[in-house]
Amino acid sequence: METNSLIWFRKGLRIHDNPALDLARRGCKHLYPVFVLDPHYLDPDRNAFLPGSVRSGLNRIQFLLESLRDLDTSLRRLGSRLLLLRGEPVPVVCRLLKDWKIGKLCFEFDTEPYGLARDKQVKDFASDCGIDVHSPVSHTLFNPSDIIEKNGGQPPLTYQSFIALAGCPVDPCGTTYSELPPIGETGDYELLSVPKIEDLGYGDISQEELSPFHGGETEALKRLDQVLEDKAWVTNFEKPKGDPSAFLTPATTVLSPYLKFGCLSSRYFYKRLQDIYTSVGKHTKPPVSLVGQLLWRDFFYTVAFGTPNFDRMKGNKICKQIPWSENEELLVAWRDGQTGYPWIDAIMIQLKKWGWIHHLARHCVACFLTRGDMFIHWEKGRDVFERLLIDSDWAINNGNWLWLSCSSFFYQYYRIYSPISFGKKYDPSGNYIRHFLPVLKDFPKEYIYEPWTAPLSVQKKANCIIGKDYPRPVVDHEIASKECKKKMGEALASSSSKKQQNHNDSNEIASLKSKRRKKAK
């Protein structure tokens, strides 16, 4: 018997490899493709340090709107369209299920705490109404629950153990559509067109420099084809390599924002890579290959899904408890690109303007904020990245900050990125710095990474006086890095000692219980 189906888009903003869409259209009389504009995600936050909402900066909001516009265009080609509503997602969707007489609800499985709580409310309501609910896994290569079950109920905490458990992902859904079932009656609901940023109350943003990377499935597939066209680059790709100062043509795929919003299927990406590996033969392997990067993504998703309080230090059993400093002045200097270290500041300005920076650039600024120079809590840096990155992904963002602060996964705290020499080896002339920090553009290359060392005559000639036109370093790297190493060493030693004590206490309690049982017998 044919029924009315509702496909609820959140991530998964695509037509290709979309099992939820495929399930929704089968045996369907009317298909309602829905996206709900959440005011918490979109409404302006006047107290934020940069324009945006409570949860996102303008670049990611713009990327989302572009992705929705593209999805609507694709649906219209198939005789359908995107039904856009505004409000709190849970009550809006629950009302639609009743008013549109929906018999089948389909949406992509979401692993994030916010999504899980939201989806449970809708699932419970739908089940009480006798509505069939389908929530297939397609945002990741694997179902995190399956990996955790294989590991005895605990998430694997190393990449190697994850790989050993994961196996091969299922192939992407190869279904293509010439048309979709028609939309039924929608009643008196106000159905919106995809808004522009200005429509959301942000005013005139024409002078803002927004990200050069644009959202949507069409753009994602185009970029994927461009990346995979160079088979030699694909087969020789190694994650630790690549130039973080390359900005006109980034030295990586820049596919992460498309994966984040589900404009690109990770399973489809994986399959295309495997096809190239098979045709070429010799290629790099995980963890450094491109396939290895997709597996890293799933690794973090799995650990995040199976670890309570993954996004914080307190109450997170896999996170080292480190007594981070609180220094709002240093945090703001880092956040605003005003540390006095041009390499660090240029990265933060690129992040602010473009919503994207190379992964090695992310490593540098994260290390500088936490264990390298400032010893400020990784959660503070995570919040800035969460706001500014167009590819900000809850599991991966938190996982990387845990890693780079040596709070989990990686503990070689003495390996620190130099805010001077690291960038210089990629870009000795400082072209990256000159672009994103034009105040320094006329400095000779021998001073561009350390402008405070330039004689006053050089500073005057460059029309930039250090301490006036550009700040002096807020910390002395040589001194600060040594102090940070000392604090990290003490903190990790203390953490290990407490863990051993807890282990001993547990053994002692178990021993006492055993003796009592024997005595009772």
Q: Confirm or deny that 299 is annotated as ligand binding.
A: yes
Question: From CA 489, how far away is CA 223, in angstroms rounded?
Answer: 44
DSSP string, 19-42: HHHHHHHTTEEEEEEEEEE-HHHH
Q: Confirm or deny that 237 is annotated as ligand binding.
A: no
> From the centroid of its chain, how far is CA 96?
30
Q: Confirm or deny that 392 is annotated as ligand binding.
A: yes
Q: Confirm or deny that 254 is annotated as ligand binding.
A: yes
Q: Confirm or deny that 255 is annotated as ligand binding.
A: yes
Residue appearing with tokens 């690794």: 299
CA-based R_g, the chain, Å: 25
Q: Confirm or deny that 247 is annotated as ligand binding.
A: no
Q: Confirm or deny that 294 is annotated as ligand binding.
A: yes
- How is residue 346 written in tokens? 């240029």
Q: Confirm or deny that 300 is annotated as ligand binding.
A: yes
- How is residue 184 written in tokens? 């039924």
Q: Confirm or deny that 354 is annotated as ligand binding.
A: no
- How is residue 309 written in tokens? 């309080």
Q: Confirm or deny that 25 is annotated as ligand binding.
A: no
Q: Confirm or deny that 252 is annotated as ligand binding.
A: yes
User: Residue 105: helix, strand or coil by DSSP?
Assistant: strand
Q: Assess contact for 362 and 271: CB atoms under 8 A.
A: no
Q: Confirm or deny that 369 is annotated as ligand binding.
A: no
Q: Confirm or deny that 83 is annotated as ligand binding.
A: no
Q: Confirm or deny that 293 is annotated as ligand binding.
A: yes
Closest CA to 401 of 420, 419, 386: 386
Q: Confirm or deny that 96 is annotated as ligand binding.
A: no
User: Residue 28: helix, strand or coil by DSSP?
Assistant: strand
- How is residue 385 written in tokens? 């990245």
Number of residues that make up the chain? 521
**Amino acid symbol at 455:** P
Q: Confirm or deny that 256 is annotated as ligand binding.
A: yes
- How is residue 470 written in tokens? 């550009």
- How is residue 115 written in tokens? 């999504």
Pairing of strands 132-134, 3-9: unpaired
- End-to-end alpha-carbon separation of the chain, Å? 64
Binding residues for FAD: 252-256, 293-300, 391-393
Binding residues: 252-256, 293-300, 391-393
